[in-house]
Amino acid sequence: MDSAVLQQRREDFGELGVALDYARRLLGPRPQAALLQALEILKVAPRHVEALLILAAAEQALGRLDHARAALQHALGLAPQSPAVWLALGDLAVAADEPETADEAYLRHIEYAVHDPLLMAAAGDLAEDRLPEAEQQLKQRLKAHPTDVAAMRMLAELATRLGRYADAEALAVRCLELAPSFLGARHTLAVVLQRQNRGAEALAQVERLLAVEPDNMGFIGLKAAALTLVGEYEQSAAFYRTVLARHPDQSKLWLSLGHTLRTLGRQTESVEAYHRAIALQPGLGEAWWSLANLKTHRFSDDDLAVLRRELARPELSDDDRLHLHYADGKALEDAGQDAPAFAAYVEGARLRREQVGYDAAAATEQMHRIRAAFTPDLFDRRAGQGCDAADPIFIVGLPRSGSTLIEQVLSSHPDVEGTMELPDLAALAKEIDGYPTAVEGLSPDRLRELGEQFLERTRVQRKSARPFFIDKMPNNFVHTGLIQLILPRAKIIDARRHPMGACFSAFKQHFARGQHFSYGLADLGLYYRDYVELMAHFDEVLPGRVHRVFYEQMVEDLEGETRRLLDYCGLDFDPACLRFYENERAVRTASSEQVRRPIFRDGLDQWRRFEPWLAPLATALGAALTTYRSGTSGEDAVP
C-alpha cells in the first residue's frame, strides 16, 4: 500500500488504527506484506511504536533477526518502559537462542506490566475474586501474545485458586522456560507442587527461591510447609519458629506450627501454638477445629464463649464458620449435649458440602468401572509382571476405621517404617490416560515402570533402612487392582469398622482435603456400600490377596490380631507392636493423639448416642449394615 493510499485511508477513517489492524492480520499468513504495510505506516508516523513492533515481528518471521533487533531497539529508544517492546525483545532472544538475554527481557516486561491496562484490570478482578472475568481477559491476552509471562503467571495463580493444579503447573513451568529468573513464577510453581503433596519437588523450587532471597519470610514459610510433606517435621518446626521470631503476629503461621508440633507428638506445644493463632485472630476457624481435632483437648468455658461469639458474627467467612461448627459440635458432644452437637455437625457438613459439590452417582459409576476393568482374566494374563519389590505395605479402607492404629502397631516392628498418607499411587493412576479401563493395554514394561516410579517417588519419605514401609492412604482401596498389577508382592491390608461407627465418625470429622463423600449421611452410606462391594470383588478375583482387619476385633484381641497381621506380612512377632503407644514416630492423621495411648474401647459404640438422627445413613447402607460381621462374635451386627 503506497503513501497516497494510506493517506486516503486516514482521511476516510480518521484513524491510523485501520492500517495497523490490517498489518497485524497480514503478520501470520503474509509476513512480507505485513512488513511493507508497517514501513508505509512508519512513513506517515515514524515514531509509532506499534508499527515498529509489527515491522520487527515481520522481520523475525522472515528470518532476518538483525533487522528485527534494530526495529526493536528503535522502539525501545522511543518507549523504554513499554511492556510490549520488552516482550518482543524476549521473543526475539528466544528465536536467536540467547536464553540469558531472553530472561532479562522478560523480567523487564514483567516489571513494566504495571503500565498495561488489560493486565491491571485482570489483577483487579483477581483481587476482588472475580475469577471468570479475570480468566477471560488473561486467556484473550495469551491468545494474542502467547509468551506474555506476566499474563501467564497470573493465569497460573488463578488456576491454583480454582484447584486446577495441572493447568497451573504447566503455565508456571512455561513461564520459567521463558524467564528462569522470574521469582514470582517459581513461587507459584512451588505452591502448586506443595498443594499436590509433591514435597520434594516443591522443596527444590523453594531452595532456588531462597538462593536469591534468603531472608524472604514467605519463601521460608513455604519451605517449612514443604518439609512437612517429606517427613522432616523437626526442620519444619524450626523454620516456622524462624519466621515467627520476626513476624509473631502471623496467625496462620502459628496454626501451621501447631500442626507440625502435633504431628511430632508435642501436644502441649501444639495447643499453645493454636491458642496463639486464636489470640491473634479469634475467628480463625481452623485453629479452633485443630484444638477440637486433638480429640483429647477440652475447651474451657471462656474458650467456648469466644468461639460462640465468633460464630454469631454475620461477616464470618463460610470456611471459618464451618470449622467453628465442627469445633462447637465436638465441645457439645464432650458435654453430653447430643442433639445440639449433632445439629452443629450437620451445619458444618452442609457448608462443606456446598463447597465441594460431591456427586454420589459419579462415585458409584467410577466403582463400577473399576470392577469392570480388573477382571480375573486380566490378572491371569498379567501374572508375573510388574515390579518385584516387596517393600510397600498398603493400609486401605475408609477413614476413621482404625487404619492409624494398624499403622502404629506395624510401625512399632523393627522391620517396618511408618510414613504417612502418601498421594503417589493416586497420582500414578491419574497419569494413565483412560484409567481404569486403559490398564488392559499397559505393557509389561510399563507395569514394571509404574511400580518402580512408586518406589522412587516415595523414597523421600523413608528415613531409615527398614526393609518395609507403610503407605496409609485409605482411599487407595480403589486402586487395589493397580497395586496388584504394578507391585504384586506388596501387602494390602483393609481396615474395616462397623459401618455406623465408621460413617458417623467420618461425618463429624472435617478433613483437610478429599473425602468429599463424608459431608452427607446418605452419601456416606452409599460410599461405604460401594467400598464393601468393590473389596468383595477383589476378594473374588484375587482370593487371599487382601488381609482384612476388623477394628472391633483389634480392640478386643490386640495380640491375636497383631500376630495374624504380622503373619500376613511375613514378619516375626515382636512384643513392641503391643506397646504401640510408646512409638514416638510422627503421626499426621486425626487419630494422632489417640494412638499415643493404650488401646481403649470408648469409641466403639459412640455412634449409638446419635442413633435417633442417623436413619438416612442406615437406609443408605442397606445390606452393608445388616450383613456386617465385626469379627468379635461371628454374629451379624445389626444396630
Q: What is the C-alpha separation between 191 and 189, in angstroms, rounded?
A: 5
DSSP character at residue 629: B
Reading phi first (left if > 0) and then psi (alpha if -120 to 50, else beta), residue 544 is in: left
Contact at 8 Å (CB) between 313 and 283?
yes
DSSP character at residue 396: E
Closest alpha carbon to 330 in 356, 304, 352, 355: 304
% of the chain exceeding 70 in pLDDT: 93
Contact at 8 Å (CB) between 67 and 59?
yes
Cell 462443606, located at residue: 352
What nine digits make up the cell of 240? 516456622
pLDDT digits (tens, 9 = 90+) for 396-439: 999 999 999 999 999 999 999 998 889 899 999 999 999 999 99
More confident residue, 420 or 577: 577
- Residue 365: predicted pLDDT: 97
More confident residue, 564 or 131: 564
pLDDT digits (tens, 9 = 90+) for 377-396: 999 999 999 999 999 999 99
Query: Binning pLDDT at 50, 70 and 90, where does residue 598 land?
Result: low
Query: Binning pLDDT at 50, 70 and 90, where does residue 632 land?
Result: very low
- Residue 312: predicted pLDDT: 95
Contact at 8 Å (CB) between 541 and 376?
yes
**CA 559, 565, 568, 569 torsion: positive or negative?**
negative
CB atoms within 10 A of CB 45: 16
Q: Which of 51-60, 179-188, 529-538 has the lowest mean pLDDT?
A: 51-60
Cell 473425602, located at residue: 515
CATH homologous superfamily of 360-626:
P-loop containing nucleotide triphosphate hydrolases (3.40.50.300)
Closest alpha carbon to 230 in 197, 184, 276: 197
Residue type, 23: A
CA 324 to chain centre: 23
- Pick the most confident of 22-26, 276-280, 627-631: 276-280
The yes-or-no verdict on residue 606 having pLDDT over 80 is yes
How does the average pLDDT of the chain come out, rounded?
A: 88
For 340-486, strand residue ranges (E) read 392-397, 416-420, 468-471
Contact at 8 Å (CB) between 486 and 587?
no
Three-state DSSP at 420 gives strand
Q: Which of 248-262, 267-281, 586-600 has the lowest mean pLDDT?
A: 586-600
- Residue 296: predicted pLDDT: 84
- DSSP bridge partners of 418: 470
Cell 469379627, located at residue: 631
Residue type, 634: G
Three-state DSSP at 547 gives strand
Residue 191, CA atoms < 13 Å, CB-side half-sphere? 21
Q: What is the C-alpha separation between 566 and 428, in angstroms, rounded?
A: 28
The yes-or-no verdict on residue 277 having pLDDT over 70 is yes
pLDDT digits (tens, 9 = 90+) for 2-60: 455 444 444 443 457 777 777 778 777 888 888 888 888 888 888 888 888 888 888 88
Q: What is the C-alpha separation between 218 and 202, in angstroms, rounded?
A: 14
The yes-or-no verdict on residue 597 having pLDDT over 70 is no
Three-state DSSP at 115 gives helix
Q: Output helix, strand, coil percentages for the chain, rounded to the nearest 5.
A: 70, 5, 30
- Residue 1: predicted pLDDT: 45
Closest alpha carbon to 485 in 417, 418, 435: 435
DSSP character at residue 578: G
Contact at 8 Å (CB) between 373 and 440?
yes
- Residue 369: predicted pLDDT: 97
Rounded to an integer, the average pLDDT of 564-580 is: 95
- Residue 590: predicted pLDDT: 45
The yes-or-no verdict on residue 601 having pLDDT over 80 is no
The yes-or-no verdict on residue 475 having pLDDT over 60 is yes
What nine digits make up the cell of 505? 465418625
pLDDT digits (tens, 9 = 90+) for 144-153: 889 988 899 8
The yes-or-no verdict on residue 218 having pLDDT over 60 is yes
Contact at 8 Å (CB) between 30 and 65?
no
pLDDT digits (tens, 9 = 90+) for 92-118: 887 777 888 877 887 788 888 877 888
More confident residue, 571 or 197: 571
**Overall pTM surpassing 0.85 (yes/no):** no
Largest CA-CA distance found in the chain, in angstroms, rounded:
100
Contact at 8 Å (CB) between 162 and 191?
no
Residue type, 163: G
Query: Binning pLDDT at 50, 70 and 90, where does residue 243 land?
Result: confident
